[in-house]
Structure 1
Amino acid sequence: MDKTMEPDNLMDEMSTWRQALMGGQMLFVAFGALVLVPLLTGLDANVAFFTAGVGTLIFQLVTKRQVPVFLASSFAFIAPITFSIQSWGLPATMGGIMAAGVLYAALSVLVRLRGSGILYRLFPPVVVGPVIMVIGLGLAPVAVGMATSGIEGVVSADQALLLATLSLLTTLFVATMAGGILKLIPILCGIAVGYIAAMMMGVVDFQPMLDRPWLAMPNFVTPEFNWNAVLYMIPVAIAPAIEHIGDMLAISSVTGKKYLEKPGLKNTLLGDGLATTAAGLLGGPPNTTYSEVTGAVMLTKAYNPKVMTWAAVIAIAVAFIGKVGGFLATIPVPVMGGIMMLLFGSIAVVGLSTLIKAKVDLSIPRNLVIVSIVLVFGIGNMGLTFGEFSLKGVSLCALTAVLLNLLLPHQSGEDRYQSTEVGKEETA
């Protein structure tokens, strides 16, 4: 036997299959969260799979395939996408999402010129924290409505509450008590139990799945550019852009590599931006790095970025299976409502955690003012209208927080940049 074909080549062949299987597992971990945004906003789930796969490949191209991350739908855009579609239509919303991706790219240029510390000075925790809280708290009425409102002739109010409770309790149980791979997919487990209960109650309509062919092109959407939608969507990208830094720090700690240095924040942000722009170009939700997948990387020790390449390829393949989107359309709204009550609350807690970890002192008047105004504007659904242009929700909150942070004076001796790894970095 040829010795060159013995151990190494066989190992390479085995590792390829192993990488493919692990890539499928990574997609499985991200599946529940990946489809939530399209299901809640009315976007096509098959397009979301396609743009997640393409976005991940774009990210890998920009970063020279050095970071083991998977990109998919960003929760921060749920409410803005819903409002934008209602106000200006789906094509205009896609144009706004493309513009949000351009903001990511602009931030990457800023980092390239001034160093990553500039982002922390522009968007410190006192800005990002309350904006993230608004994203979660602003969606709370939506979650409660989904969980408690029946569907006339299909699901009664009592049945809706029961289904929501079952999916919520399952998600809570798995998230807090399960181990191994199950701990990484609490949302998927909650949906599964709620769906099975709905089938036993006879309230699942399988017609959408029966109507879909096995193989079909995703329903791609051609974007249009409406200045109202563009200017409304751009500020929303601020919070996910800052969260992206946290994701890079998290995956760095898991793998033991400093991704903020190589490939560098300037390149990872650019990868996110181009992926989001590509999603808007095709009709999918904006892309962001997934913390669920980071947890899976930590558990499985799958540090090789090729695993995420396989996850991306599999996601693209799934996008052409029409039955997948049809099946997702059969999930009863109350089942999703139970999941949403936990998910949207968790988003708000992330914002609160951002303030706590950075030790933001709310006894300092400027900090108290910024947090207070942002929360009231967001929860109160404050809006401003200038002719045909309107600004409200997360967009208004993000702009308000940034402007207040830049304009309000600091007290003498105040620690302006509470300690974080990014905040300590030297600017170029």
Structure 2
Amino acid sequence: MENNQITKLSPAKMTLVGVQFLFVAFGATVLVPLLVGIDPAVALFTAGVGTLIFHLITKGMVPVFLGSSFAFIAPILKATELYGLPGALSGLIAVGLVYGIVSLLIKWRGIKFVERLFPPIVVGPVIMVIGLSLASAGVDMAKTNWVLAVVSLLSAIAVVTFAKGVLKLIPVFVGIVVGYIVALVWGKVDYSALASASWFQLPEFTKPEFSWHAILFMLPVAIAPIIEHIGDMYTISNVAGKNFVEKPGLNRTLLGDGIATAFAGFLGGPPNTTYSEVTGAISLTKVTNPRVLQIAAVTGIVFSVIGKVSGFLKTIPQSVLGGIMVLLFGMIASVGIKSLIDSKTDMNKTRNQVIISVILTIGIGGAVMSWGRFSLSGIGLASVVGVLLNLVLPNKKEEAS
């Protein structure tokens, strides 16, 4: 359905279309908070409000829904372990500020400047590190019940491989549903969280606490989502037949992501970023009316205050989530590989081999660099080193052997 057709739909039908878009992103949106120990109701609330903030900043022109980013799972887990969740949240707020700074750079110097700082040779390996660094966490959760994990995993794989239409866009959601049903039949579901939840219940917001350590730890992780955002804007522009990169402009769309992410951090929610699953659904359905995505946002807010929804989500067995993670984190790594292939990165260049090798080793190896009380490690350190190597190493054509 085209944009002008959607505007002719009745309010009831438009609401149904909007709810459909929420469910495209629902599985992944609630998966992130479940994995990092955040109330899923908080993620739904901050994703809904964050989406409305985005639409306000972009003058309601861009059909976008913001959701929880997988890129931040590993950093949130590690930052929470080191500095506590309130400290980690201060790092997420700072990430939102980085988005704002990059949006100003784009307005000042143009998109080419950002592409020079974060080319595929840097972004690809960083995305690979994000996925591979979580491999052990996925396996640890899966092995709590391998049968449920395998059922969930195979269900998601089947959807990715054989499904068509909108169903193909929600493998995470389908895998969780199938795994949950098997767990239910098997008697492996604990309903205590659902029973204790009220029908109407405000999300369990968490107040952030300022921590320089967490901020330095988290900041470099913003690189990958920023690049993903730019790619999504070009995709949505092509589908809608409008140039959102020019109007309202990448500086506005990225600023919308940044303020929404900072807002989420202040309330204890995961970062909000432009959602690739929803971008895919827009491409498939050709529904490009921003009002539909605004309805999805409001629906998410409504769900967030229904306590039974959050209670139900907390009953999902860890092994079911683990099975999904085995596929999910591997696919994140494969996206990094795909970005290198799509950009036709020349792997015969020693320069490129060095950059990729150093990023992977530092990121997966968990290297740490400390300066007094401050430190940088893992994904963050790998990102910074990758950017510096790309800027410093000469990029000239190598002689044939």
Q: Flag whether TM exceeds 0.5 (same fold).
A: yes
Q: Separation in 2 of the partners of 1:413 and 1:115? A: 30
- Is the Cα contact below 8 Å between 2:7 and 2:289 reproduced in 1? no
Preserved contact between residue 149 and residue 320 of structure 2 (Cα < 8 Å): yes
Q: Spell out the pairing of 1:387-406 with structure 2 (5 A cutoff).
A: 387-406=372-391
Correspondence 1:358 to 2:353: no
List gaps (5 residues or longer) in structure 2: 1-5
> CA RMSD of the aligned region, Å?
1.4
Q: Which amino acid aligns with 1:163?
A: L
Kept in 1, the 8 Å contact 2:58–2:256? The answer is yes
The 3 A distance-change label for structure 1 pair 12 and 108 is: closer
Alignment of 1:369 with 2:330, yes or no, is no
1:108-119 equivalences in 2 (<5 Å): 108-119=103-114
Write out aligned runs for 1:258-407 (5 A): 258-407=243-392
Kindly report structure 1 stretches of 4+ aligned residues shifted beyond 6 Å.
Answer: none
Counterparts of 2:194 and 2:239 in 1: how far apart (Å)? 39
Residues 60-69 or 255-264, more deviating = 255-264
Q: What is the aligned partner in structure 2 of residue 418 from structure 1?
A: none
Q: Is residue 138–residue 323 contact of structure 2 (8 Å, CA) maintained in 1?
A: yes
Matched with 2:135 is: 140
Q: What is the aligned counterpart of 1:107 among 98, 102, 105?
A: 102
Write the letter of the residue equivalent to 1:401: G
**1:76-104 CA-partner distances (Å, limit 9, x unpaired):** 00000001111111111111100000000
Offset at residue 391 of structure 1 (A) = 1.5
CA distance in 1, matches of 2:9, 2:221: 44
Q: How many residue pairs get matched?
A: 394
Choose which of 176, 181, 184 in structure 1 pairs with 2:166.
181
Q: Would you say the 8 A contact 2:366–2:378 is kept in 1? A: yes
Higher CA-based Rg: 1
CA distance in 2, matches of 1:36, 1:95: 21
Q: Aligned runs of 1:170-249 on 2, under 5 Å?
A: 170-249=155-234
What amino acid is the match of 2:59?
A: K
Corresponding position: 1:34 with 2:29: yes
State the distance in 2 between where 1:384 and 1:39 align: 30
For residue 292 of structure 1, report the CA deviation from its aligned partner.
Answer: 1.0
User: Could you tell me which of 119, 123, 129 is aligned with 1:124?
Assistant: 119
Task: Provide the residue aligned with 1:57 in structure 2.
Answer: 52
Unmatched tracts of structure 1, length 5 or more: 1-10, 151-159, 415-428
Could you tell me which residue of structure 1 aligns to residue 72 of structure 2?
A: 77
**What residue in structure 1 maps to residue 88 of structure 2?**
93
- Partners of 1:380 and 1:96 lie apart in 2 by 22
Per the alignment, in what secondary structure is the counterpart of residue 10 of structure 2?
A: helix
C-alpha displacement of 1:325? 1.2
What is aligned with 1:422?
Answer: none
Say whether the 8 Å CA contact 2:363–2:379 is kept in structure 1.
yes
State the TM-score, normalizing by the size of structure 1: 0.90
Matched residues in 1 for 2:182 and 2:318: separation?
13
- In 2, Cα distance between equivalents of 1:179 and 1:356: 25
Aligned partner of residue 89 in structure 1, secondary structure: helix
One-letter code aligned to 1:146? M
Taking the aligned partners of 2:216 and 2:133, their CA distance within structure 1 comes to 20
1:17 to partner: Cα distance:
2.5
Contact (CA 8 Å) 2:349, 2:398: kept in 1 or not?
A: no
- Residue 22 of structure 1 is matched in structure 2 by 17
Tell me if the contact between 2:22 and 2:300 (Cα under 8 Å) persists in the aligned partners. Answer: yes
Aligned residue identity for 2:88:
T
Q: Which amino acid aligns with 1:83?
A: K
**Structure 1 residue 14 displacement after superposition:** 4.1
Q: How far 1:182 moved relative to its partner?
A: 1.6
The residue number in structure 2 matching 1:164 is: 149
